């Protein structure tokens, strides 16, 4: 190898260590950047020919995409971390297919969930169906959370389940004297009573009084009244209006269940609302009168108070009445070779020819990780490791510079030779 070759080799060594120092600088600078993936340098020998021909070293950059950072809890429900494989899909509004592990999303002025670079989080609309295209980006939409209040909904369906006392007295006088709840007279007798809340068309509450009365060994009457019609001075009866609905249930006294001929539901008109069908199919005979379930759909108007995202990636808006509305399903993406993804600004990546095609799925399915809300994946940079790399690069750079200096001194000797 010539003296010039020696100097050229040492220059390649200094360039390589300079690249190493650059990656260390980037890593240290981004050690607190959520979702940042550590950069590294691979060294390879440069051989230009046989014999003592000058060689050197070449470098290639790497990104440790598959090394996961530690999730850190935050106070924002729209901060997301992925526990396991996968990337969030984000869009710049015109182009899709950007992938990132940095889940610091916030709502912009239009309600879109965006990362610090303004890219919008993508998923599938719950209203349009959430069947993903595994090998493509079709069907993805930008996730936009509406702040509109929840409109009122009139009650249309309910469930009433109770255990009826099979040993209750049969009020024969009630039958003969026409003093059942359905007769709506002073002194009407009943075995049990409870109330249910329904909603009329404007979302106002309508309280329904439900009476159950044993009229025979295997027969019970169920009557429903509007509580607003109750005569408070006479302990309900008589109500100002007739019962909203009445039915008679027939039971098999051996099993305690309804017979095949028995009605299994009761439909009542909710005042200023819709027809409410009450499911009675799970009524049964047993011990003491006990209501096990009394639920009615519908809701009053309610203001939106926040956004929540489940571990399954369901984006829902929370309302002040405690209810939720599911809006979107967050999509996750992966590629066969994440290490070969092409990095772009803002801790984002795009697919390359060597990474393979994007595969899309849901959190927790088909090999994808789960989502942790109110958390951010931290950088996978280890400061101690970077400082060690920096010291090693410094020493190697100095050693290569000494080689170059020695070659330069030899050249001075050659130049200054005299005859």
Q: Assign 3 a pLDDT band (cuts: 50, 70, 90).
A: confident
Which residues have CB under 8 Å from 367's CB, separation 6+?
85, 334, 361
**d(C-alpha 53, C-alpha 145), whole Å:** 65
What would be the CATH architecture of the domain defined by 157-296? Sandwich (2.60)
Backbone angles phi, psi at 17, to 5 degrees: -70, -30
Model pLDDT, residue 184: 93
- pLDDT confidence of residue 172: 47
Q: Is the previous residue joined to 343 through a cis bond, with omega within 30 degrees of 0? A: no
Task: Give, as one character, the DSSP assignment of residue 227.
Answer: G
| pLDDT given at position 129 | 66
> Residue 45 and residue 57: Cα distance in Å, rounded?
5
Confidence of residue 245 (pLDDT cuts 50, 70, 90): very high
Instruction: Give the pair of three-digit tokens for residue 154.
Output: 């009139």
Asked whether the predicted pLDDT for residue 281 surpasses 90, the reply is yes
Quick one: average pLDDT of 91-105?
90
Q: What is the mean pLDDT of residues 23-44?
A: 91
Domain boundaries, the chain: 3-67+380-415, 71-149+304-377, 157-296
> Which has more pLDDT, 333 or 138?
333
Kindly indicate the confidence band of residue 1, based on its pLDDT and cuts at 50, 70 and 90: low
48 pLDDT band, cuts 50/70/90, is low
Q: What is the pLDDT of residue 268?
A: 97
pTM: 0.68
Looking at residue 159, its pLDDT comes to 96
CB 239 within 8 A of CB 310: no
Nearest of 70, 79, 89 to residue 335 by alpha carbon: 89
- Say what the pLDDT of residue 234 is: 63
Return the structure tokens found at 171. 């009020």
Q: Name the pLDDT band for 51 (thresholds 50, 70, 90).
A: low
Q: What is the mean pLDDT of residues 59-64?
A: 86
Cβ-count burial of 76 within 10 angstroms (0-12 exposed, 13-18 middle, 19+ buried)? middle
């Amino acid at each position: 190898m010539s003296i010039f070759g020696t100097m050229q080799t040492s220059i390649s060594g200094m360039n390589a260590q300079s690249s190493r120092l650059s990656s260390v600088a980037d890593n240290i600078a981004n050690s607190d950047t959520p979702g940042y993936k550590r950069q590294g340098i691979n060294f390879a020998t440069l051989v230009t020919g046989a014999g003592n021909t000058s060689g050197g070293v070449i470098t290639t950059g790497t990104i440790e995409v598959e090394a996961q950072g530690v999730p850190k809890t935050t106070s924002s429900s729209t901060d997301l971390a992925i526990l396991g494989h996968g990337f969030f899909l984000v869009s710049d509004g015109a182009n899709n297919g950007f992938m990132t592990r940095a889940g610091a999303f916030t709502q912009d002025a239009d309600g879109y969930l965006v990362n610090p670079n303004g890219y919008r989080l993508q998923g599938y609309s719950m209203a349009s169906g959430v069947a993903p295209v595994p090998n493509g980006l079709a069907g993805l939409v930008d996730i936009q959370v509406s702040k509109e209040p929840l409109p009122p909904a009139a009650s249309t369906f309910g469930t009433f389940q109770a255990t009826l006392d099979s040993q209750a007295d049969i009020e024969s006088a009630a039958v003969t004297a026409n003093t059942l709840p359905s007769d709506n007279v002073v002194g009407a007798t009943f075995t049990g009573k409870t109330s249910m809340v329904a909603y009329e068309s404007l979302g106002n509450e309508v309280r329904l009084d439900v009476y159950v009365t044993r009229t025979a060994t295997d027969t019970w009457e169920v009557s429903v009244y509007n509580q607003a019609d109750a005569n408070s001075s006479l302990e309900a009866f008589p109500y100002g209006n007739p019962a909203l609905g009445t039915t008679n249930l027939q039971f098999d006294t051996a099993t305690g269940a309804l017979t095949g001929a028995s009605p299994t539901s009761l439909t009542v008109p909710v005042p200023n609302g819709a027809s409410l069908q009450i499911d009675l199919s799970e009524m049964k005979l047993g011990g003491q009168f006990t209501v096990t379930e009394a639920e009615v759909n519908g809701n009053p108007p309610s203001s939106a108070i926040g956004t929540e995202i489940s571990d399954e990636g369901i984006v829902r808006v929370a309302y002040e009445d405690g209810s939720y509305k599911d809006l979107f399903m967050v999509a996750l993406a992966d590629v066969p070779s994440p290490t070969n993804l092409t990095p772009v600004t803002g801790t984002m990546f795009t697919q390359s020819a060597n990474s393979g095609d994007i595969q899309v799925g849901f959190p927790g399915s088909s090999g994808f990780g789960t989502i942790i809300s109110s958390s951010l994946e931290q950088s996978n940079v280890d400061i101690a490791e970077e400082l060690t790399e920096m010291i090693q690069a410094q020493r190697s750079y100095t050693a290569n510079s000494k080689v170059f200096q020695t070659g330069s001194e030899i050249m001075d000797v050659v130049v200054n030779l005299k005859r």
